[in-house]
Structure 1
Amino acid sequence: MIDLKKLLYHIIFILVITSVGHAQQSLLLWYDKPAAAWTDALPLGNGSLGAMVYGGVQEDHIQFNEETLWSDGPRDYNRKDAYQYLQPIRTLLVEDKQAEAEELAQEHFMGMKSNEVEYPFKKQQWLNKVRSDTVYALPLFNDAKWLVAKVPTRDGWEKEGLAGLDGAVWFRTTFDVSNEFNNEELIINLGKVRDIDYTYINGKLVGVDSGANTVREYHFNSSLLQKGKNTIAVQILNFGDKGGFADKSIKPGYFTIRAAHHPAQKISINNNWKYFIQDRTPPELPAYNASYLAFADVFFKWKLNGPTTAYKRILNLDSALQTVTFTNNNIHYKRTYFISYPQQAMVMHCIADAKKAINLEAVFSTLHPNYTLKKINDTTLGIYLQPVHGALKATAFLSAHAINGNTHVTDSSIVVGNADVVTFYLVAATSFKNYHDISGNPEDSCLRRLSALNRLSYATIKAQHIKDYQSLFNTFSVSFGKPNNLLPTNQRLIQFKNNQDVSLLALYMQYARYLLISSSRKGTQPANLQGIWNDELTPPWGSKYTTNINLEMNYWSAETLNLSSCLQPLFSLINDVSTTGEETARNYYGISNAWVLHHNTDIWRGTVPVNASNHGIWVGGSGWLCLPLWQHFLFTADTAFLRNEAYPIMKKAANFYKHFLVKDSATGWLISSPSNSPENGGLVAGPTMDHQIIRQLYKDCIMAAAILHTDSLFAYSLAQQYKKIAPNQIGKFGQLQEWLQDVDDTANHHRHVSFLWGVYPGSDITPKDSALMQAAKQSLLYRGDSGTGWSLAWKINLWARLKDGEHAFQLVNDLLTPAIQNGKESGGTYNNLFDAHPPFQIDGNFGGAAGIANMLVQSDMNKIELLPALPTKIPHGNVSGICAVSDFKLSFSWKDGSLQQVTVTSLSGLPCRLRYKQYVTDFLTTKNGVYHFDGKLNIL
């Protein structure tokens, strides 16, 4: 007999799971299994809150971030007397004493590190404390209660359950000796260790060393050993980043004891070791910049029985919704996840087609050792934390709202039993207000957001989220043919090169737009090296803002792909560093009423040289960041923005270079010194990239002053100096010179192509400069096609700007190569379509999308060119909502490689020149006018 009630419930369930808009198949990332790794999980974000959803069945894992949770705190980064060393450094460079210049600069011209002054004393105090007790090295010490770890490891103890740990850790193991040694010299090899190790054999210290790249190989006499069981004990002291036995290139001979003169005689110590955390409070390691930090994780532990079938997880780019569906024990389940910008919250909604089928426990977890869990009320659990070496306080609340069933909250978990439906809301905040004010109350912020959520239904929250998101996402569409969506996305990636599933490129473009909307919204921080997603306390390169390519690349596609509003966080950062950079301009260069930024910044807006003098003293960051300001004006024709926001910042940046440039005694040209060509060749005078950036800035400032009818004398002074700046030069190999001197090495395949900045993203070299364009092409050929994710993305844009769509497409192929093959990781793309540097960096996603867009349209103040670098592998397609300079929006299609039709919408009423191959049309427009053309640009 049919259970009508259950049948009705099942029908309602099916209607619900198919009601989230029928998204274009080309806008789905989907997978037939849960994520096994972080780079398999799928991202969600609203600019301030980011999450990675694993989609597990029995245990669902959500790792989340809050944009303002960084290490360190407000501080002064400037070395006050640095300017005294500027001229001595310049003099050493003139005398061709690069090594001496770098040494002097490293000591006196780099920025101040956090905790720099106090650190030596604090470190010695801590060392004395942890070294005072060596009982753990004694053979008879009882380590029965110690935990066990497999040694060696390639990634340190972070991968062995000790993530986020810095401090002192003891490791012990035993080995048997069956034969007696006769006064022989033996060698123990432990591979590389981070940071300091004290290695004992049977209680005797046999070696001490430090340094992450030093292989620990210690010699000792066989008299230390005894027949039978012997003990090795290693105390490892780690101050930051990865700790322990951390050697990615574990080689034969590592973790052995061997006879010095008979290498074949050896004992393996590659086995399970026991470990004990002695102390996890080392002093803060001095750092030039802060790091963006993981916040916490939520684990949903489901009570399910029986087999699971029909599993599918989907990220719908059309609605920014993730779903996980499966059948367990003949019950159909669906979980829906999203992060709402209007409500500033993450939502997880769980339903099933049976009553009382929702049974689970939700718990917080975090890598931060300083945290507290607390019951907030009968539906809400809170986590409070503070970074070990950070001033910020942070709070997150998880709240459960169940239909029927029961909800029980303790100080450690939320348990939901026998519910029909449950919706979880996650909110998070820190005490950050701005880069110099951290007086915010994160608990109050979380309470306000939950209170607002409680007044709305789930349906309303979801509808508001979709409406808000689609107001940005739906402004653009692209198709390169019928999508091959029968395969999971990871399988499409694997087969891309062979099958030429070019529709995957359209998905890749839209995914980049999704990522930008998710990581950069009005009022938030800009997208960092990983957007807004990071699962570590010591992320690669601090997951900060690297301004010699990476931050800028994050926004290369924003204007063209119709996401201009997502630039606001970048403009906010530029405004901040234009303020903090004034102090750096004074302290390091003795220049007032000007600002400078070097190659890195962070949430605290440091602008000083950092890291090492051979690459950290680069003055181009401020000039480069003026380019997106000017381009925003070009694309939007927004004169008010130019007058009130962009030009004042551009003028002060130009004023810095006006006073910074010096005369080269050999040529008489004005050059940039000291600086470098990122991140290649060390500290030099006169790198080509600097001069391209400065010329571009001067040209843009002169034009802006004319448009605004202001600063004619200042503009004149820039024009006069412009003529004297060292020009682009063609070297002896027909290449564009990277430096002032013709010293390029054609065998150098460095990932940076900084000296080609003038071709793209700048316009210091244009097709009118045919000889220079050919030299740039020759340099690009010498540099080669290999590279990490963002490097490949830059080269794609360069080849597109050179109008070589075939070469650009070849590099797109490389960019979409699976990053992990045969257990090895390289540049390319992860299963979730994140870009691999490796590891993950988001700039390749954004830069790759910009490169594909550059194949379709290129524009400047003089013209819009359609399909300038269309590869033969994309013979058919259409695009709608793509943007061009002077506030034009375009829709066009092509077939068999030929343009079919074009629609131009003029939002500002400016004149337009349209070009396609040999066809050119000039026409006047009116504001909001719409104009139609055929494939030969005849007006329709």
Structure 2
Amino acid sequence: MPVLHLSGFRKFQLLVAALMLSASLNGQHLKLWYNKPAVKWTDALPIGNGRLGAMIFAGPAQDRIQFNEETLWTGEPRTYSREGASAYLPKIRQLLFEGKQDEAEKLAAEKFMGTMSGEGNKEAWFREMRAMKGLSANPATISYDDSKWKDMPVPVSEGWEAAGWQGLDGAVWLRTTFELPEKWTGRNLIIDLGKIRDQDFTYVNGELIGSMDDAGAGRKYTIKASNVRKGKNYIAVQVLNYYDKGGLVGYKDVSRKLLVYPEGEAESTGIPLNGNWKYLVQNDEPPAVPRFQADYQPFGDVVLAFQGHEKTENYKRELDLQNAVARTTYKINGTTFTREYFASQPNQVIVIHIKADKPRSVSFEAALSSPHKNSAVQKIDDHTLALSLKVRNGALRGESYLRVVSLKGKVSVTGDKVNVSGADQVTLYLSAGTNYRRYNDVSGDPAAVCKNALTSVAAKDYESIKDAHIKEYQKYFNTFSVGFGPDLKTDVSTDKRLEEFASSADPAFAALYIQYGRYLLISSSRPGTRPANLQGIWNDLLTPPWGSKYTTNINLEMNYWPSEILNLSPMAGPLFDMIDELRETGSTTARMHYNAPGWVLHHNTDLWRGTAPINASNHGIWVSGAAWLCHHLWEHYVFTQDKEFLKNRAYPVMRDAALFFNTFLIRDPKTGWLISTPSNSPEQGGLVAGPAMDHQIIRDLFKNCIEAASILQTDKSFADTLQRKYKDIAPNQVGKYGQLQEWLEDEDDTTNKHRHVSHLWAVYPGNEINWETSSVLMKAARQSLIYRGDAATGWSLGWKINLWSRFREGDHAFNLVKMLISPAEKGGAGSYTNLFDAHPPFQIDGNFGGAAGIAEMLLQSQNGVIDLLPALPSALPDGEIKGICARGGFELNFSWKSGRLQYAEIISKAGNDCSVRYGDKNVNFKTTKGGKYRLNGALVKF
């Protein structure tokens, strides 16, 4: 291309224009804010320091701070792998080759899945509950006196735990009545109670009319006419629930009522049974249920009660992403009250600071509690409470200390509460710890963790603790900034902006969403902590969705998609630490299940680093988790060019994963290709031979190992072996519908709208399929995504945004951004009021996938080229970004206006050759380490 020579004045003009645009974008509104307190958990605002997390409700009269500690899980150290499973591997493969999928899955379910945790004596407990143990009379009878029972709304669509009855597993009785219409006299009736979790014994007027042990089945029982009374009729249901969502949950369609109606007539003639039923807990200590893996647990709650604060003026709550501080302000009778909350990493405490602008105005009561049944609160001293707990059916114990420090006023501890009266300012310090030390070591001292944290703040004032927190946080957060034009809606609350985003122009809200994703990653994955799980570090349920574990067939990996491109490399450290531990446990699984060297990881893991296949054999036997995690190790090297990391950390782990597949891959008897089997294409299609996703990930692993060995000048023989096998792995194929095949056979269904798009892994996050080297496959992958459709769960939208960005179709990608940033309360995927991603329910991966996806529209760096604005949507015509990272060891600042690049500054962190593309323009130049290179919109240096 011809070289453009710019005059000094023209260079000056360009520089001034860039600086003016930068000035207009500085001071971006980096706050989530609301003019009303949180009601639901997904309204509350999250804070975290990687180890401790909290959700801030910010009610004026009653403020709830629900908190977590990252290592509080169910379960205990144990071996998850099944000794002798490998003996059944040849037979399972044979059955799959013969097309006998059902038989293969049955054999795998019986002989190949991982081991489960111990089981309690279910039969004995069941007999006792049916014999009415613990009751003075039979609640099924008409004459039973339930006047002292409490009320529960029925149905509870998400289970009674989600409705406020934490830990209510066990045997629970529920009772209600209905009045018989005279015209129904002498007729059989139908009672429809919807679904009940898990087993019910349903009585009417003392007679057992039905029982089922099936959480997924609706209950419709016949009440014989001889059992129906004139006037009032009594319904009693004994529910036996061992864990998870219990109770009368009704129907997924919450508009459907529980009913009683005459047999043979329409349901519309019935009497609704929805409403408050009486309930009594017969026994809340059911026997332990065998589990493949453990669940992440909530720790406790701090509740602050302020008398006389019910009616307020000028209420506002906010989360400042710039400082990682939540704040609540309001006015009562001319006095302004302010509360600040943050999770300090330097001091390992959650801090709550309360002040008023008039002296002696701060008075409240603070209570410390936990949803765990085995918990207790005690006084430590006149300023401190301690909460002790033990997880049910697990090895972990926890301690939490709450210390209250006041400026003036009086502080006293009575029972399980701290009372404060007449203070100017009050600071609460909340610490928490468990006895967890490592996945195979629970010898820690949780009380010592708390004491050390409180000691660290003892001689410091609030402002110095806050300053240290902000300084530590900002060293990560301030590495990156983004703006999409001036923020014109700073006066609109976040919940309103969420409602309006999809239908109005609000590009600044997309920039805020990116920064919120970065905030969440910093808050849930600091160096030295455990990695972010399905819910980051925030969870309020004893039985959270999917255990709030680490799902490794997309969700865990998606959590870390922003880490490199959005300049948060240190946040990936916890993931790498986990990979090191999984390598240890995964080597046992490789040996026991596959008689193979190296290490393997299936589709889920937990705090105890389980790597064996879990759940059902039709989706639990998926072998590519380790290889996918190795992709993150390689990406970290490619972005940072850190050869010491590659040599000492990444390559040994990658090599061991490749060792496994070197043994695991076998010849397909029909094609002669090397294939992966048994496995599946997550999480559909059942157990198969040769899913495309496996082969894409394995090729990626082999290719990266080969390149790493070359860079490090090591393992040439092993690299040569991988190179030979690489060429024989079953290739990507285009099917009869023009689609990229998901399986070895051409069996794709164009009407399939499944949330997983696994066979597009090679487009993103991989790069085997791209426009430059494999355009035919790229077109087929695009066709597959069109067939799959746009509608999806929250995290799936995040993946699709990245895919459409790789297809360089920014407007299509941004349409999915609008779907992701839309109110989940209206039904389906989107975002909750606090911008948490909705699967639904809450999963944090969509936040991270969405943030990475918007970045992918603005910069891509695969194939050795830095591609500027490759998928810029028309909705983002103006913008500036600073600190975005590219592969090859580069950091960039650039801006655009009216959809056209204005300038780009490239900082070379490794001194590599640089290739930059913008539209049809391309420039190549050499760099020196630490050098800065400025290009104008025509990619000419200035």
Please, what TM-score do these two structures have when normalized by structure 2? 0.95
Q: Which residue of 1 aligns with 2:862?
A: 860
Deviates more, 1:187-196 or 1:627-636: 187-196
Which of 101, 104, 109 is the equivalent residue of 1:106?
109
CA separation of 1:511 and 1:161: change in aligned 2, threshold 3 A: closer
Q: Would the aligned equivalents of 2:767 and 2:862 in 1 still touch at CA under 8 Å?
A: no
| DSSP-derived class of the 1:141 partner | coil
| DSSP-derived class of the 1:597 partner | coil
Deviation (angstroms), 1:861: 5.8
CA distance in 2, matches of 1:74, 1:656: 24
| DSSP-derived class of the 2:358 partner | coil
Q: Would the aligned equivalents of 2:203 and 2:236 in 1 still touch at CA under 8 Å?
A: yes
1:641-675: CA deviations, max 9, x gaps? 11111001100101111111111111110110000
1:134-180: CA deviations, max 9, x gaps? 71212112212111122223223225542221000011122333538
Q: Would the aligned equivalents of 1:307 and 1:329 in 2 still touch at CA under 8 Å?
A: no
CA distance in 2, matches of 1:458, 1:272: 47
CA distance in 2, matches of 1:416, 1:379: 10
Q: Would the aligned equivalents of 1:907 and 1:928 in 2 still touch at CA under 8 Å?
A: yes
Which sections of structure 2, spanning at least 5 residues, go unmatched?
A: 1-24
- The answer as to 2:474 corresponding to 1:475 is no
Q: Which residue of 2 aligns with 1:3?
A: none
- The answer as to 2:828 corresponding to 1:829 is no
Q: Would the aligned equivalents of 1:886 and 1:908 in 2 still touch at CA under 8 Å?
A: yes
Q: Would the aligned equivalents of 1:137 and 1:202 in 2 still touch at CA under 8 Å?
A: yes
CA distance in 2, matches of 1:267, 1:897: 61
Q: Would the aligned equivalents of 1:155 and 1:247 in 2 still touch at CA under 8 Å?
A: no
1:462-507: CA deviations, max 9, x gaps? 1100100010000000110011211011111111122120111110
Deviation (angstroms), 1:915: 1.3
- Identity level (%): 52
| DSSP-derived class of the 1:820 partner | helix
Q: Would the aligned equivalents of 1:195 and 1:210 in 2 still touch at CA under 8 Å?
A: yes
Q: Which residue of 2 aligns with 1:125?
A: 124
Q: Would the aligned equivalents of 2:28 and 2:483 in 1 still touch at CA under 8 Å?
A: no
Q: Which residue of 1 aligns with 2:583?
A: 578
CA separation of 1:403 and 1:23: change in aligned 2, threshold 3 A: farther
Q: Which residue of 2 aligns with 1:19?
A: none
Q: Which residue of 1 aligns with 2:250?
A: 247
Q: Which residue of 2 aligns with 1:4?
A: none
Q: Which residue of 1 aligns with 2:206?
A: 203
Please, what TM-score do these two structures have when normalized by structure 1? 0.95
CA distance in 2, matches of 1:327, 1:311: 7
Q: Which residue of 2 aligns with 1:87?
A: 90
- The answer as to 2:535 corresponding to 1:533 is no
1:734-774: CA deviations, max 9, x gaps? 11000000111111111100000001001121221010011
Q: Which residue of 2 aligns with 1:792?
A: 797
| DSSP-derived class of the 1:472 partner | helix
CA separation of 1:850 and 1:306: change in aligned 2, threshold 3 A: closer
The amino acid that maps onto 1:926 is T
1:365-418: CA deviations, max 9, x gaps? 321111010001111111111111221000111111001110011231000000
- The answer as to 2:595 corresponding to 1:595 is no
| DSSP-derived class of the 1:558 partner | helix
Q: Would the aligned equivalents of 1:795 and 1:811 in 2 still touch at CA under 8 Å?
A: yes
- The answer as to 2:759 corresponding to 1:755 is yes
The amino acid that maps onto 1:517 is I
The amino acid that maps onto 2:879 is G
Which of 364, 379, 383 is the equivalent residue of 1:379?
383
CA distance in 2, matches of 1:792, 1:307: 41
Q: Which residue of 2 aligns with 1:165?
A: 168
Kindly report which structure 2 residues correspond to 1:231-630, keeping only aligned pairs within 5 A, or say none: 231-249=234-252, 254-263=257-266, 266-304=270-308, 307-483=311-487, 484-592=489-597, 594-630=598-634
Deviation (angstroms), 1:704: 0.3
Which of 637, 643, 651 is the equivalent residue of 1:639?
643
CA separation of 1:923 and 1:181: change in aligned 2, threshold 3 A: closer
CA distance in 2, matches of 1:496, 1:103: 48
Q: CA RMSD in A?
A: 1.5
Q: Which residue of 1 aligns with 2:905?
A: 903
Q: Would the aligned equivalents of 1:189 and 1:253 in 2 still touch at CA under 8 Å?
A: no
CA distance in 1, matches of 2:400, 2:591: 41
Number of aligned positions between the proteins: 911
1:514-552: CA deviations, max 9, x gaps? 000000011101000010011111111110000000000
CA separation of 1:407 and 1:174: change in aligned 2, threshold 3 A: same
Q: Would the aligned equivalents of 1:479 and 1:877 in 2 still touch at CA under 8 Å?
A: yes
CA distance in 1, matches of 2:786, 2:177: 56
Q: Would the aligned equivalents of 1:181 and 1:222 in 2 still touch at CA under 8 Å?
A: no
Deviation (angstroms), 1:323: 0.8
Deviates more, 1:561-570 or 1:187-196: 187-196
CA separation of 1:934 and 1:674: change in aligned 2, threshold 3 A: same
Which of 41, 55, 58 is the equivalent residue of 1:55?
58
CA distance in 2, matches of 1:517, 1:606: 25
CA distance in 2, matches of 1:159, 1:924: 58
The amino acid that maps onto 2:524 is S
- The answer as to 2:35 corresponding to 1:36 is no
| DSSP-derived class of the 1:557 partner | helix
CA distance in 1, matches of 2:239, 2:182: 30
Q: Which residue of 1 aligns with 2:807?
A: 802
Deviation (angstroms), 1:203: 1.6
| DSSP-derived class of the 2:240 partner | strand
Deviation (angstroms), 1:306: 7.4
CA distance in 2, matches of 1:267, 1:730: 57
Q: Which residue of 1 aligns with 2:191?
A: 188
Which of 114, 131, 144 is the equivalent residue of 2:147?
144
Deviates more, 1:900-909 or 1:181-190: 181-190
The amino acid that maps onto 1:686 is G
The amino acid that maps onto 2:68 is N
CA separation of 1:544 and 1:261: change in aligned 2, threshold 3 A: same
Which of 714, 721, 725 is the equivalent residue of 2:729?
725
CA distance in 1, matches of 2:110, 2:538: 35
Deviation (angstroms), 1:251: 6.9
The amino acid that maps onto 1:836 is A
CA distance in 2, matches of 1:733, 1:268: 50
CA distance in 2, matches of 1:752, 1:114: 29
The amino acid that maps onto 2:31 is L
Q: Would the aligned equivalents of 1:67 and 1:532 in 2 still touch at CA under 8 Å?
A: yes
Q: Would the aligned equivalents of 1:861 and 1:885 in 2 still touch at CA under 8 Å?
A: no
| DSSP-derived class of the 1:758 partner | coil
Q: Which residue of 1 aligns with 2:842?
A: 840
Q: Which residue of 2 aligns with 1:14?
A: none
Deviates more, 1:710-719 or 1:257-266: 257-266
| DSSP-derived class of the 2:107 partner | helix
Q: Which residue of 1 aligns with 2:889?
A: 887
Deviation (angstroms), 1:227: 2.3
Q: Would the aligned equivalents of 1:151 and 1:245 in 2 still touch at CA under 8 Å?
A: yes
The amino acid that maps onto 2:860 is Q
| DSSP-derived class of the 1:529 partner | coil
CA separation of 1:634 and 1:202: change in aligned 2, threshold 3 A: same
Q: Would the aligned equivalents of 1:181 and 1:223 in 2 still touch at CA under 8 Å?
A: no
| DSSP-derived class of the 2:728 partner | coil
Deviation (angstroms), 1:248: 3.9
| DSSP-derived class of the 1:720 partner | helix
CA distance in 1, matches of 2:104, 2:73: 33
CA separation of 1:253 and 1:185: change in aligned 2, threshold 3 A: farther
Deviation (angstroms), 1:266: 4.2
CA distance in 1, matches of 2:265, 2:309: 58
Q: Would the aligned equivalents of 2:31 and 2:320 in 1 still touch at CA under 8 Å?
A: yes
CA separation of 1:820 and 1:178: change in aligned 2, threshold 3 A: closer
CA distance in 1, matches of 2:720, 2:714: 11
CA distance in 1, matches of 2:653, 2:681: 24
| DSSP-derived class of the 1:533 partner | coil
